[in-house]
Structure 1
Amino acid sequence: MGEVTKTLELKLVDPNVHKRQKLRETQKAYQQALQAAFAAGCDTQSAANDVVVEYDLSGYAKNALKQYVPQLCGNSYDADELHDDHPVRFTNDGLQLDHQPQNAIEWYVKVPHHEDYHLWIPARANPEQREWLEAVYADDAEMGESRLFERDGTWYLHITVTRDVEDKSEASADERTPPDESGEPCLAGLDRTPIGVDIGEASLVTVCHRDGSGSPVRPELWADDGKAVRRLRKTYFTAKQRLQQRGSERIAESYGDSLWDQIDDVFHRVTREVVEYAESVENPVLVLEDLTYIRENMDYGEYMNRRLHGWGFAKLHAQIRYKAAEVGIPVETVNPRNTSKACHACGEHGSRPRQATFRCSNDGCWLGEYQADVNGAINIADHYRSGESHRRSDRTSRQKAGDDDSATDGASLTGPQDSHTDADTQQETCGTYAS
């Protein structure tokens, strides 16, 4: 186990006119504060604070300046040597990420503008750094200083990230299997054992696979964890509404952060156990439902849709993916069509008289009733076994024109004046990533 630091790059996707203006205002205010503090020879954080406190910047940018300017002055730079294109720096807690893998543009980033005002903007990530970005989103990597800059009319973010990496993580699935023409590991010719991973509300996660004779074996359900997360989420929404009614927004936010931290702890433990389950299976491949289809297929009424949209599908997916990559286990996705409706034994559609029970409608089927989440997990694995799988790089080309691209999960991250739900995500961008 060793600590590794890497700079991740995100390209902001065509911010609208309003957001471009706000980004340039932040850039201009930062440059003015930097020049003023440097010209004043601020060689301590206290001295730099006295200067930058007057500028219309977020506390994250001001704190970064208080650390940066004394370093410059301590090295005896001449003020005339400062360029006008210094990137805007933010301290490690300045940015926030949201992940919506069901959308053509999966990542959203919260960029601080000034106190109590921030901008949610969709962003494209360097595909080679996806595993690291998912680790950041899942809170398993520590975000350091970030830098915002504009190049040839395009805005970029560089984020310093540190994480613990096992020595064998470098020898991932890409090295264990030869790549195909797309650069992805080629699974052809390998006798993979697909493990279906069903993420739901009753059982937080359910996994199951078939043995050599085709019989489902070793189903495992994290039902108690599903109950724990439902209880925490209900507590959060109830308390948030009451506190907001009393005008206690900051208390509601602080209380919500505490509860979401508890939920994250559950997510991390469960996804780690899912990967450990996969490690115990010979030549495994973890099979998830492609979230591209999840949201458009959800229509259980306003109350249930809110609960399910915020259930944490994206975060659980991200954690499973990067934790599996660390131990060299491939992850594939399949269309979730009928995985919860079809009988894994005969293929006929059935019903769910209770949340955890699947009842086959075929009188001639031996199955009768079965655990619903296990039935779903087996169907997910069978979709992969039948030859259906989607690589992550295919999502954009499969996204239907006109789909709503706005982020829907992470309401707790949304700021008071600007949200990521109004991001301009329908436009495609061309060009290379920042170097």
Structure 2
Amino acid sequence: MTELTETLELKLVELNAHKHRKLCETKQAYQDALKAAFNANCTTQTEANDVVVNYDLSGYAKNALKKYVPQLCGDSYNADELHNDHPVRFTNEGPKLDHQPQNALEWYVKIPHHEDYHLWIPVQINPNQREWLEALYADDAEMGECRLIERDGTWYFHVTATRDVEEQSQASVDERTPIGVDIGEASLVTVCHRDESGSPVRPELWANDGKAVRRLRKTYFTAKRRLQKRGSERIAESYGDTLWSQIDNLFHRVTREVIEYAESVENPVLVLEDLTYIRENMDYGKYMNRRLHGWGFAKLHAQIRYKAAEKGIPVETVNPRNTSKACHACGEHGSRPRQATFRCSNDDCWLGEYQADVNGAINIADRYRSGESHRRSDRASRQKAGDDDSATDGASLTGPQDSHADAETQQKTCGPYAS
């Protein structure tokens, strides 16, 4: 087991005059308290406490100062002078994260102002750190000290996060067993891999969970529209929070089960479609755009990545082009007469009709085996989604089927209450 620590940078956005003023007040009070304690040469927490207790700061900032000032004045740093660029520090009990995936700005942070007053502020995140935020929000990572920083008039909030991960498998690419992970709207997640003989084995579909999320989202949009017409904005917001919390919990359970599936396979590597730019290029009409833009592709990807890292399971991504159009048996393109069914166009192919999401998952796994894979950091030269064929692909964009009766009998389908 290896302990990893990363500093997450959150950019505070949409600051109104009131919140900006409160942040400035917090910064000034902190700098004043820090200067006073430093000039008093406080070398113990008790000495620092006697000074900073008189300032209008939250207890979380005061506690951070009580630890920090003795380090400056004592043996740790032994600073000769105090500079003006010290960030405002908070102990980890005060700041909180909130996630509202239905909003354009999904992430929010609670920053303590003073004892009885806190500021909830929306933030922009570094996309490469999204999986860390997911882990922190799910209590799968531990929050450390937090810092409030102002740079050239822009405010940032730095959060230290720590988590334990197992060492990744040292197996070579040829020794690994690629598990294709297909994320879609009808079946929330579908996974499958091939055995040593090359035959697809143990496909699992979370189709009932896809149905549950669709139902919750439809309920949310319908209720929100009705409540807004009545002028009940606050009730609509509260009701929406409850439904999105249910979706969050469902996502976490499903992604845990995906990791359990991977753990049951020798030398696994989870293979995801790279859905970069997918939302920017969607245009299937107002109704489908609303459904697909609100779908949790990025959230599911992030949860799978960080949960896999905790178990030492590698994760790779592949270009999603044609993964749902091609036949996994012969490679020819086919059609989707129904959302759950793939039909091969090659009359000589033994496949005929197959469960569409399983076919897509196998193609995703095969794409990794063929050597066409890349890590998330290598994005510059990728093909954009205009040519992509992802889980949102059309032939398919007729109404998704709530039934998965077309799945082959040996396929296991996990419902909302599967264990």
- Report the TM-score when normalising by structure 2: 0.69
Distance 1:396 1:244, change over 3 A: farther
How big is the shift at 1:26? 5.2
Aligned to 1:412: none
Partners of 2:138 and 2:380 lie apart in 1 by: 23
1:202 is the counterpart of 2:158: no
**1:342 and 1:349 in contact (8 A); partners too:** yes
Question: Shift of residue 89 of structure 1?
Answer: 5.4
Tell me by how many angstroms 1:161 deviates: 3.6
> 2:73: which partner in 1?
none
Matched, 1:212 2:196: yes
Verify the 8 A CA contact 1:198 1:377 in the aligned structure 2. Answer: yes
Whether 2:52 is the aligned partner of 1:68: answer no
**1:373 CA displacement:** 0.5
Answer whether contact 2:344 2:351 (CA < 8 A) is retained. yes
Does the alignment pair 1:159 with 2:159? yes
C-alpha distance in 1 between matches for 2:255 and 2:192: 14
Summarize the Cα distance change of 1:140–1:72 in structure 2 as closer, same or farther, 3 Å threshold.
closer
What one-letter code is carried by the residue in structure 1 that aligns with 2:184?
G
Equivalent residue number for residue 256 of structure 1? 240
The match for 1:389 among 373, 376, 379 is 373
Cα offsets for 1:101-156 (capped at 9, x unmatched): xxxxxx98546799887454353767xxx753441255533556632214688864
Task: Say which SS state the counterpart of residue 292 (structure 1) adopts.
Answer: coil
Structure 2 CA distance for aligned equivalents of residues 293 and 82 of structure 1: 46
Deviation track 1:295-339 (CA, whole Å, cap 9, x = no partner) reads 355332221122122111111111111111122211110011011
**Which is richer in helix?**
1
Match of 2:124 in 1: 121
Residue from 148, 167, 178 that aligns with 1:171: 167
- 1:42-191, aligned counterparts within 5 Å? 65-69=58-62, 85-88=85-88, 92-96=94-98, 110=108, 118-123=121-126, 132-136=132-136, 138=138, 140-141=140-141, 143=143, 146-150=146-150, 156-161=156-161, 165=164, 169-173=165-169, 176=170, 187-188=172-173, 190-191=174-175
Q: Secondary structure at the match of 1:149?
A: strand
Contact 1:138 1:319 in 2 (8 A): no
Mapped pair 1:9 → 2:5:
no
Partner residue of 2:219 out of 229, 235, 238: 235
Deviation sequence 1:136-190 (CA, Å, 0-9, x none): 2555335566322146888643214465x4xxx34234xx35xxxxxxxxx44x4
Secondary structure of the structure 2 residue equivalent to 1:10: strand
Structure exhibiting the larger radius of gyration computed from Cα positions:
2
Alpha-carbon distance in 1 for matches of 2:213, 2:145: 32
Q: SS at 1:197's partner residue?
A: strand
* Residues 221 and 73 of structure 1, relative CA distance in 2, 3 Å threshold: closer
- Report the Cα distance in structure 2 between the residues aligned to 1:285 and 1:97, rounded to whole angstroms: 29
Residues 315 and 121 of structure 1: CA distance in aligned 2, closer, same or farther (over 3 Å): closer
**For each residue in 1:342-363, what CA deviation from the matched residue of structure 2 results, as whole angstroms up to 9, or x when unmatched?**
1112222222111111112222
SS in 1 for 2:126: strand
Task: State the percentage of identical aligned residues.
Answer: 70
Instruction: Confirm or deny: 8 A CA contact 2:8 2:161 kept in the other structure.
Output: no
Compared with structure 1, are the counterparts of its residues 133 and 207 closer, same or farther at alpha carbon in structure 2 (3 Å cutoff)? same
Say how many residue pairs are matched. 351
Which aligned pairs between 1:251-400 and structure 2 lie closer than 5 A?
A: 251-296=235-280, 298-396=282-380, 398=382
Distance 1:378 1:75, change over 3 A: closer
TM-score (norm 1): 0.67
- Identify if the C-alpha distance between structure 1 residues 279 and 205 changes in structure 2 by more than 3 Å, giving closer, same or farther: same
**Mapped contact 1:144–1:161 kept (Cα < 8 A):** yes
| Distance in structure 1 (CA, Å) of the matches to 2:231 and 2:33 | 38
Unaligned runs of 5+ in 2: 37-48, 71-80, 385-419
The Cα of 1:211 is off from its aligned counterpart by: 1.5
Shift of 1:247: 2.5
Judge conservation of contact 2:100–2:241 (CA < 8 Å) in 1: no
Give the number of the structure with larger relative contact order, counting CA–CA contacts within 8 Å between residues 6 or more apart: 1
CA 30–214 in structure 1, closer or farther in 2 if over 3 Å, else same: same
Q: In 2 relative to 1, CA 285–159 (structure 1 residues): closer, same or farther, beyond 3 Å? A: same
Deviation string 1:178-227 (CA, Å, 9 cap, x unpaired) is xxxxxxxxx44x42211110011111110111112221111111111111
- The change in CA–CA distance for 1:357 and 1:311 in structure 2 (over 3 A counts) is same
Q: Distance in 2 between matches of 1:369 and 1:238?
A: 36
- Consecutive unaligned residues of structure 1, counting only runs of 5 or more, are 53-61, 100-106, 178-186, 401-435
Letter of the 1:193 partner, please give it: T
Alpha-carbon distance in 2 for matches of 1:313, 1:200: 8
Q: 1:118 to 1:397 in 2, by over 3 A?
A: farther
SS in 1 for 2:237: helix
Q: Tell me how far apart the structure 2 counterparts of residues 139 and 259 of structure 1 sit (CA, whole Å).
A: 20
Report if the CA contact (8 A) 1:286-1:331 is conserved: yes
1:31 equivalenced with 2:27 (yes/no): yes
